[in-house]
Amino acid sequence: MTKEAVQGATEEEQQAQSKKALKKQQKEAEKAAKKAEKQAKLDFAKDRYGVSAMVQSQQKLDRELVRVQDLTPEKADQLIWLRARVHTSRAKGKQCFLVLRQQQFNVQALVAVGDRASKQMVKFAANITKESIIDVEASVRKVEQKIESCSQQDVELHVERIFVISQAEPRLPLQLEDAVRPDGEGEEEGRATVNQDTKLDNRVIDLRTTTSQAIFRLQSGVCQLFRDTLTQKGFVEIQTPKIISAASEGGANVFTVSYFKTSAYLAQSPQLYKQMCICADFDKVFCVGPVFRAEDSNTHRHLTEFVGLDIEMAFNYHYHEVIDSITDTMVQIFKGLRDNFQTEIQTVNKQFPSEPFKFLEPTLRLEYTEGVAMLREAGVEMGDEDDLSTPNEKLLGRLVKEKYDTDFYVLDKYPLAVRPFYTMPDPNNAKYSNSYDMFMRGEEILSGAQRIHDAQLLTERATHHQIDLEKIKSYIDSFRFGAPPHGGGGIGLERVCMLYLGLHNVRQTSMFPRDPKRLTP
């Protein structure tokens, strides 16, 4: 074969090969197009689900988002948009059931293969991690059988669009359903419960539980009712300094902080400043603010920082005017909680069952000697001037409940020896004082008294308590220019919430608790 013939044959072969390659490429392209077409046909809903771009305020959508708590049978057959967290999800064949949560309310949602949702959409919904925040467009449907596991029991959502707004990591430090499980129930069924330290270490997750949401909404209500009631009574809200030059209570339980070239203290109470405001003719004042106690007490009811609800007022003739004002304020708070926070109370009760809180109008007031007599009758040995121990406080609370059917009462006329130096002595019996404590479910929530408003008597009492007069000079001086008779008290917000709800640890009612062992989060 000639050289030219060989060359021609090679060229023909090459042409045949390139034709073959071209055909193959064409076939593969057709195949891919068919596959894509098939895929598109299969996933007709691909624009109805997905992970949204991060919200960076790119656009203003004219879209109303409905609240979960507003999903009632009246909204049946309406198409709505909703933003919520994925509480739980459960895939079952061509369906996926989601429970969507918003604070203490939740609703069941269904993503099912149909003309609005594809197989892929159902799979996508089933794979959304718990606690992710999603937007859904859904139709509200009435249900024949109540959905017992959700707060919205009469309706469910039939999802038509679903978009992830913020994805949660797949591994959560604690499961919310474990965190709200009553202690006994978990042990019996072999299911997990979460201990308190784990909850507090992961407080952001724990605060999402229905129980925590209810506790802190009720706590907000206590503050609101406290402010509203006192404002209506003519009180003025004041703000007092928390960095002070001398210990407020004159005791050792005080935090020292460096203050430029000297030392200062964190206020143990707004005592001095409340009284100065009375001397400055504000007549009736209150404040809500942090109080610091450097007590190494690792008990169920002590914190090193708590919220103080403080009251101080001038009175005309008798310090019982002050007691009446404070007890009426407390009664208004109890009534407001009972009438406006039943949802929250019931939510907390599911995890921590307790008896409803009982109170009398007017509030029961017992003298200290009567309390001691009741304890002695119950077999307790104590002297007339002994202070009440915590077990005796609780026992007295039970005895008062049995006899008077109330969880809230006042114990008046405490022995002078167990009260602070600024407490007014009883004019009829030098062993006792014009001071009182208030109790809820057998635990003290308020300590108060008529204050000494005479500089000379105050100096004598401070000297008796061996307090350095130089350190409280500005306090004593504020009474040298005419001071009205006055009294007041300080209430611990977290304790009030704990005891009203019948909880067993003050850390449950402190959003980010501080105690001798905890400084974080």
Distance in angstroms (rounded) separating the CA atoms of residues 24 and 276? 95
Give the helix/strand (H/E) hosting 197.
helix 196-201
Distance in angstroms (rounded) separating the CA atoms of residues 245 and 317? 33
Percentage helix, strand, coil, to 5, in the chain?
35, 25, 40
Chain-centre distance of CA 306, in angstroms?
13
**Strand pairing partners for 291?**
306
480 in active site: no
Could you give the count of Cα atoms lying within 13 Å of 250 in the half-sphere of its Cβ? Answer: 22
Secondary structure, 3-state, 234-254? CCEECCCCCEECCCCCCCCCC
Active-site annotation holder among 131, 156, 393, 444: 444
Active-site annotation holder among 269, 325, 447, 478: 447
295 in active site: yes
Active-site annotation holder among 83, 161, 453, 495: 495
Distance in angstroms (rounded) separating the CA atoms of residues 394 and 391? 5
Phi, psi of 82 (to 5 degrees): -145, 140
208 in active site: no
301 in active site: yes
- Alpha helical stretches, state H, 241-319: 271-279
Distance in angstroms (rounded) separating the CA atoms of residues 153 and 71? 10
CA 511, 358, 234 angle in degrees (round to 5)?
70
Return the axis-axis angle of helices 210-232 and 493-500, rounded to nearest 10°. Answer: 120
302 in active site: yes
CA 477, 483, 485, 489 torsion-angle sign: negative
Buried b (16+ CB within 10 A) or exposed e, 344-373: bbebbbebbeeeebebeeebbbbebeebbe
> Which amino acid is residue 160, in one-letter code?
E
Active-site annotation holder among 137, 177, 249, 295: 295
CA 250, 330, 241 angle in degrees (round to 5)?
35
Phi, psi of 81 (to 5 degrees): -105, 145
Active-site annotation holder among 48, 301, 441, 451: 301
293 in active site: yes
Active-site annotation holder among 217, 227, 302, 365: 302
Neighbours of 298 (CB within 10 A): 10
Active-site annotation holder among 83, 85, 116, 293: 293
Known catalytic residues are: 293, 295, 301-302, 444, 447, 495
